[in-house]
Amino acid sequence: MAQIKVLCITEDPDRPTTAMFVGLQSAGVDVTVVCPAGADSRAVLAAAGVKLLDLVLGGLRDRAGTRLLRDELIRGRYDILHVFSNRPLESGIAAVRGLPVKLIAYRGIVGNVSFFSPISWLRFLNPRIDRIICVCNAIRDYFLTMRPAFLRMPAQRPVTIYKGHSLDWYTAAPADLSPLGIPAGAFVAVCVANYRPRKGIEVLVDALAELPHDWPVHLLLVGQMDAPRLQARIAASPVRERIHVAGHRRDAPALIAACNVFVLPSVKREGLARSLIEAMAYAVAPVVTDCGGSPELVIDGESGIVVPIRDAVAIARALSRLYETPALREKLGTAARARIGTHFRIERTIEQTLALYRELVG
pLDDT, mean of each 10-residue run, the chain (362 residues): 92 94 98 93 95 88 93 98 94 96 98 96 97 98 96 97 97 97 97 97 98 97 96 97 97 98 97 97 98 98 98 98 98 98 98 98 91
Would you say 246 and 177 are in contact if contact means Cβ atoms under 8 Å apart?
A: no
Q: How far apart are CA 233 and CA 204, in angstroms?
A: 10
Task: Look at residue 256 in the predicted model and tell me its pLDDT.
Answer: 98
Q: How far apart are CA 218 and CA 240, in angstroms?
A: 9
Q: What is the pLDDT of residues 246-283, one digit of tens each?
A: 999 999 999 999 999 999 999 999 999 999 999 999 99
Task: Look at residue 1 in the predicted model and tell me its pLDDT.
Answer: 60
Residues 6+ apart with CB under 8 A from 229: 197, 202
Task: Look at residue 60 in the predicted model and tell me its pLDDT.
Answer: 73
Total number of residues shown for the chain:
362
The whole-model pTM stands at 0.95
Q: How far apart are CA 202 and CA 206, in angstroms?
A: 6
Would you say 33 and 10 are in contact if contact means Cβ atoms under 8 Å apart?
A: yes
Q: How far apart are CA 355 and CA 1, in angstroms?
A: 13
Q: How far apart are CA 355 and CA 350, in angstroms?
A: 9
Instruction: Residue 72: name the closest of 59, 53, 58, 57 by CA.
Output: 53
3-class DSSP string for the chain: CCCCEEEEECCCCCHHHHHHHHHHHHCCCEEEEECCCCCCHHHHHHHCCCEECCCCCCCCCCHHHHHHHHHHHHHHCCCEEEECCHHHHHHHHHHCCCCCCEEEEEECCCCCCCCCCHHHHHCCCCCCCCEEEECCHHHHHHHHCCCCHHHCCCCCCEEECCCCECHHHCCCCCCCCHHHCCCCCCEEEEEECCCCHHHCHHHHHHHHHHCCCCCCEEEEEECCCCCHHHHHHHHHCCCHHHEEEEECCCCHHHHHHCCCEEEECCCCCCCCCHHHHHHHHCCCEEEEECCCCHHHHCCECCCEEEECCCCHHHHHHHHHHHHHCHHHHHHHHHHHHHHHHHHCEHHHHHHHHHHHHHHHHC
Burial profile 155-189: b = 16 or more Cβ within 10 angstroms, e = fewer: eebbbbbbbbbbbeebebeebebeebebeeebbbb
